[in-house]
Amino acid sequence: MVKEGGFIPIPDLRDPLSYKSFLSRSLASKIPFSFPRIKELKNLFGVVDESIMDEYIQDTLKVCKKNPIRGEQSTCATSAEDLIDFVVEKLGNRVRAWSTESVEGSYENVSIGAVKLIHGNHSKPPTLCHSQPFPFQVYYCHILPKVKVYAIDIHAEKKVNNAIMACHYDTSTWNPNHLAFKLLGFGPGLIEVCHWINENGVIWTTTQG
């Protein structure tokens, strides 16, 4: 579907809490970041039970505490220092960051312009960091084998947006109940899964080789 001249519907690329910032590592390390201490966490930020922020907190904790699938390496970075340490540990210190330019095209049926493969080296998989909704900036970062990364010009109603897409070419170890399979109608290992990188999401690739 993603080829020059084609058309594709774009989901919501917005970060629901795009205004949030990182805390310093020294401060973030003191924040109770777990389900057993969720009441303490919500009290600290004045979060009301059953509010939207309460839902965000619970969803992020679920993502951060879930068991990784086979072959996956993951972490939740609650500070910029944690994120950098994870990326450098996995990729070294010669890296490049890729992000979607803007949220233009969200909810639109856009035309596809230039499609450029920016990372296709399966022996050195990239690190994908997804911005999580939380009272402060938290990233869920993970590495999965056999991922290619593309930069794609999408022609939206107002402007051309350079969007980043990650394509997973090995889904054999994924949960059969994964949302992607429900949407696409296939199961683990039967299809590749591609997704857009949303606002504030970052893909890190090595610049060596």
Instruction: List, for residues 171-184, the tens digit of each pLDDT value.
Output: 888 878 877 887 77
**Residue-range definition of the domain harbouring residue 140:** 19-206
pLDDT over threshold 60, residue 209: no
**109 found inside a domain:** yes
User: For residue 66, is it within any domain?
Assistant: yes
Please answer whether residues 150 and 118 qualify as being in contact, where contact means their C-beta atoms are separated by less than 8 angstroms. Answer: yes
pLDDT at residue 208, as a whole number: 64
Confidence at residue 116, expressed as pLDDT on a 0 to 100 scale: 96
**Number of structural domains found in the chain:** 1
Q: How much is the pLDDT for 11?
A: 94
Specify if 4 maps to a domain.
no
In a domain, 6, yes or no: no
Is 158 within a domain?
Answer: yes
Strand segments (E) across the chain:
7-9, 73-77, 95-98, 109-119, 127-132, 138-143, 147-155, 160-168, 193-196, 202-206
Question: How does pLDDT run across 58-79, given as a tens digit for each residue?
Answer: 999 999 998 888 889 999 999 9
1 in a domain, yes or no? no
151 burial (CB, 10 Å; 0-12 / 13-18 / 19+) is middle
Order the strands of the 160-168 sheet from edge to edge: 7-9, 109-119, 147-155, 160-168, 193-196
- Phi first, then psi, for residue 128 (nearest 5°) are -100, 125
